[in-house]
Amino acid sequence: MRPWRGTWLSVIGAGLAIALVAVALVQGRQATLLNETVKTGDDYVVLTVYQAETEYLRLRNEWQRAADGVRPIDREALQLRYDIWVSRMGLLRNERTSGALFAQPVFRDTLTRVDGFLAQADRMLGEKPTQPLSRDGLAQLLPELESLGVPIHGVSLHAAHHVGDQLARRNLAVRQHNQVGIGLTVFLSALTLAFALLALRQMRQLEQRHDALEELAASLRQARRDAETASDAKSVFLANMSHEIRTPFHGLMGMLSLLRETGLNPKQIDYLRTATESADHLLAILNDILDMSQLESGRMTLTPAPVDLRSMLRDVEALMRPQANAKHLALHLDTDPAVPEAVMADPTRVKQVVFNLLSNAIKFSDRGAVVLDLRQREGPNGVPELEFVVSDTGIGMDEATLASLFHRFMQGDSSRSRRHGGTGLGLEISRNLARLMGGDITARSKPGEGSTFSFRMPLHPVAEPAPPARAAGGERVAPHRPLRVLVAEDHPVNRQYMAALLESMGHEAHFTANGQEAVDAVQHRRGAPPFDVVLMDLHMPVLDGVGATRAIRALPDRSAATVPIVALTADAFSETRDRCLVAGMNDFLTKPVSPQKLSASLRRLFGPQAAEPAPEPARHTPPVPGGAPALLDDAAIASALQAMPRERLAAMIHAFLDQGPQTAQRLRAAVRDAQPLELRVNAHAARGAALNLGLAALASTAEALHEGASHLPAHEIARHVQRFEDLLPATRQAATAAGLAPPAAAAAP
C-alpha cells in the first residue's frame, strides 16, 4: 500500500510539475506577445491627433475673431491658443507617433503644410516675433490657416482607423491565448484536486501538531510575561529601595556636614573624614544600582542642554586632581582647538562617564601619568563625533580581561578592586550611557603598558547666538530667554537682594528658606514647568546646601534630579568648592554675588542666550562727603546699583541694619550658651548679607566671628559681638552720607 501511494504521489507530482512548466511557458509567451502588441500599439495616437485637431479649431476661431475687425485684438488669448496648438502639433512629431503615422503620405503632407504656416505665423506670434501683430497680417494668413482644416481632419480619421485595426488584432491574440490558458487551468485544477485529497490527511496531522505547538507557545509566553514582570518588579524594588535608603542616608551626611563646622580636634577630624569617605562610597554604590536598574527598565532619559566643554573639563580636573596628587600621578587634560566651545549634550551623564574613566585610570595606576584628550573625529557614517580618550600608564590588561571588561560585576583586577572598592557596574553603566547618547566606549590595553579607553558621542554644536538687537536711542535689547530660578536662602535680606538681581536680568525667581524646602520644591513641582537652575546657599537650617544637593541628585525623577545647581556662599576656600562639586553642584559663586558673577555663571550653564553680559562696575567711585571707606565697599555698592534702583538698595541696607540688634542678641545668646555651631551659622548668614550689600566693616566682623567661633576665648568672641553692634549706627550714617538714605528720610523735604 505504501509503495503504491508513493508511486501515485510521484506521478501526480510529476504531472503537476509538467503542467506548471507548460503553463509557465505559455504564460511567458503570452506575456511576450502582449507586451509586443502593447509596445507597438498606437492607442494614444488617436487622443493626441484629436487634441491637435481640437486646438486647431480653437485657434482658427480665435484667429477669425481677431481678423474680422469687429472688436479689438485680444493678443493674450490669441497667443495662448497659438502656443497650445504648436505644442500639440509638436507631440505628433515624437518617435512613437511618427513611427505609426509618418510613413503615411497624408501625415507627411499635413505636417509640411503646417510647418509652412508656422514659419509665417511665428513672425507675429513666435518666441522672437519680427513684425508686430496686426489685423492685416492676421487676415492675410487666415485663408492658409483655414485650408489646414481638411488635411488635419484627414489625419485624425486615418489615425482612428489605424488604431481600430490594431485593437482588433490585439483582441484576437488575447482570445487565442486565453483559450490555451483555460485548457491548461482545467488540467492543472484536476491535478491539484487529486493532490489536495492526499494532502488533506497530512493537514489533519499538522493541525494536531499545531495545537500542541500553540499550547507550548502559550506556556512560553506566560513564562516570558512572568520573567518580565519579575524583572520590572526587581527594577522598581531597586529604585524604591535606593530612594528609601538615600532619604535617611542624606540626613546622616547632612549631620556629618554640620558636624564638620563644629570645633573638633585633629583626631576627631580624621574620624569624621573617614566616615564621610565611607558615606560617599556607599552613596556611589547606591547610585550605580539605581542607574543600572533605570537603564535595564528603559526609564533613564537624557536631558540635553548647552555644555561648555572646556569649562566642564576644568570642573573634571578640579575633582580628579586631588586623587591623582594623592598617588603622585601627573594629570593632563588637553582639548583639540577644532572642538567647538559648546555642544548640546546631557552634562550630568557626560561627566559621569568621564569621571568613571578617569577614576579607573587613577585607581589602576601607581606611577606615570593619566591623560584625557578631547578631540573631534569623523564617525563611521560621516557624522562628526566627540572623542574623549583616557590613557594611563597603569598595570594594563590581557585579552581575557578585556573580553570581560564591560560585563556586569566583572572587575579587571579583583585584588586591586577589593582594595579600592567598587560594584563592578561602573564600566557597564558608562558603556550603556554612551550608547544611550548615540556613542560607545572601546578599550585597548597590554599588560604592563597601561590602558586606553575611548568614549565617543555624536557632536551636536550649539548654534552661535544672533547679535543683540539695538533699540531706539542705542539701548541694547537683551536677547536672552528668561529662566525659572529657585533660590534657597535663609536670610531675608539676601532673598530681597537676589530677587532684585534676578529681576534686573529678566528671570523669574522663587524662594525657599532652607534646604529641605528646596528639595520639596524641586521634587513636587507638578503641573508647572520645572526649574531651570537652583541657586543654593550652603549654610541653612534643617538641611544645608550640600545635603540638599545630594538629596536632589537622588530624586527618582531624572529631570528633577539633573537640574543645574549653583552654590552660594561667603566661603572662598578651595575645600568648600571641592565639597560642593563632589556633592553634585554645577558651579560655585562667592558672596557678594554681583551681576557680573551671576551672569557669567548662567552663561556657563546655558550658553550665551541665557544671560546678557553685565557691564563691569567702575573701579573707583568718587569720594562722598562724610563717607567712611572702612565701613562701605564702594565697588560692591556700585555693582548692586547695576541690578536695582538706589532707593531699593537703600531700603535693603537699612532693613538689614534694623535687624542688626536682633542678630547681635542671637550671637550673644550663642556665646552665653556655649553653642559654637549656632554662633557660626548666624555669623555666616550676617556676613553673606553684608557682603552683598557692600557693608564691608560688618562683613569683616561677622567673618571674624564665624572663623573664631570654635577656638577663640569667650571674652574675645564677646568683644567681636560688641563691635558688630557698635558698627550698626556708624554704618547707617555712612550709608546715608553716601546717598543711600532710608526711604522715609529720602522722601522728606
Task: List 390's β-bridge partners, or say none.
Answer: 372, 453
247: cell is 532619604
Architecture of domain 303-458: 2-Layer Sandwich (3.30)
pLDDT surpassing 60 at residue 336: yes
Q: Where are the domains of the chain?
A: 43-147, 303-458, 478-610, 634-747
**Consecutive H or E run containing 231:** helix 149-260
Minimal CA–CA distance to 154: which of 56, 224, 62, 292? Answer: 56
385 — pLDDT class (breaks 50, 70, 90): very high
Least confident of 190-199, 640-649, 665-674: 190-199
Of how many residues is the chain composed?
749
What is the spatial distance between Cα 157 and Cα 147, in angstroms, rounded to a whole number? 17
pLDDT surpassing 60 at residue 267: yes
Predicted pLDDT of residue 60: 87
**Average pLDDT over all residues of the chain:** 78
> What is the DSSP code (8-state) at residue 472?
G
The arithmetic mean of pLDDT across residues 662-690, rounded, is 82
The arithmetic mean of pLDDT across residues 220-249, rounded, is 71
| Residues 6 or more apart in contact with residue 444 via CB below 8 angstroms | 402, 451, 452
Bond into 592 cis (ω within 30): yes
pLDDT surpassing 90 at residue 313: no
16: cell is 503537476
> What is the DSSP code (8-state) at residue 475?
P
List the Cα angle 282/288/291 in 5-degree steps: 140
The arithmetic mean of pLDDT across residues 548-552, rounded, is 91
Strands of the sheet with 533-537, listed across from one edge: 508-512, 484-488, 533-537, 565-569, 587-590
What is the spatial distance between Cα 524 and Cα 527, in angstroms, rounded to a whole number? 9
Give the CA distances from residue 375 to residues 204, 372, 445, 482, 712, in Å, rounded to whole numbers and listed in that order: 67, 10, 20, 33, 53
In one letter, which amino acid is 640?
A: A
> What is the DSSP code (8-state) at residue 617?
P
Predicted pLDDT of residue 617: 45
CATH domain 634-747 topology: Four Helix Bundle (Hemerythrin (Met), subunit A) (1.20.120)
Buried b (16+ CB within 10 A) or exposed e, 318-348: eebeeebeeeebebebeeeeebebbbebbbb
Predicted pLDDT of residue 709: 73
pLDDT in tens, 427-479: 888 888 899 999 999 998 888 888 999 999 999 888 654 444 333 343 333 44
Residue 602 backbone dihedrals phi, psi, to 5 degrees: -65, -35
**Consecutive H or E run containing 533:** strand 533-537
pLDDT in tens, 95-135: 555 555 666 777 878 888 888 888 888 888 888 888 888 88
Are the C-beta atoms of residues 330 and 393 closer than 8 Å to each other? Answer: no
Predicted pLDDT of residue 125: 86
Domain 478-610 has CATH 3.40.50.150: no
719 — pLDDT class (breaks 50, 70, 90): confident
The arithmetic mean of pLDDT across residues 406-416, rounded, is 53
pLDDT surpassing 70 at residue 682: yes
Predicted pLDDT of residue 622: 38
pTM for this entry: 0.40
Task: Name the more confident of 411 and 433.
Answer: 433
What is the spatial distance between Cα 203 and Cα 196, in angstroms, rounded to a whole number? 10
Minimal CA–CA distance to 316: which of 361, 249, 364, 367? Answer: 361
Q: How far is CA 217 from the centre of its chain?
A: 41
